[in-house]
Amino acid sequence: MNEFLITFRSMTQAQSGQRALQSKAISAVLQRTPKSVAVQGCGYSLSVGTQQQLLYAVQELRARGILYSKVYRKTDRGALEEVVI
């Protein structure tokens, strides 16, 4: 099963992102960013379930000027790989 994480620098930015995606019926779960990729320390992420959702999500965030940091794919073994879109 695929899982993608869109990371944000702050809770508020992640919440704004979540609201934007909700308004487009894109389901995104707000969660803490795993420490392994939270290079600057604590952060929050939005998790989406499919690659299609991820593409819609990133498009929507960019369209609204909501700043996210990076995008990751969670591998079957739980590791995180950066995805460049």
Instruction: Give the residues lining the site for another protein (CB under 8 A).
Output: 9-13, 15-16, 19, 30-32, 39-44, 67
For another protein, the closer of residues 11 and 55 by Cβ is: 11
- Smallest separation, CB 82 to another protein (Å): 18
For another protein, the closer of residues 34 and 49 by Cβ is: 34
For another protein, the closer of residues 24 and 32 by Cβ is: 32
Task: Quickly count: other Cβ atoms within 10 Å of residue 55's Cβ.
Answer: 13
Measured distance CA(1)–CA(49) in Å, rounded? 8
Measured distance CA(58)–CA(7) in Å, rounded? 11
- Smallest separation, CB 52 to another protein (Å): 26
Residue with the two structure tokens 């702050």: 10
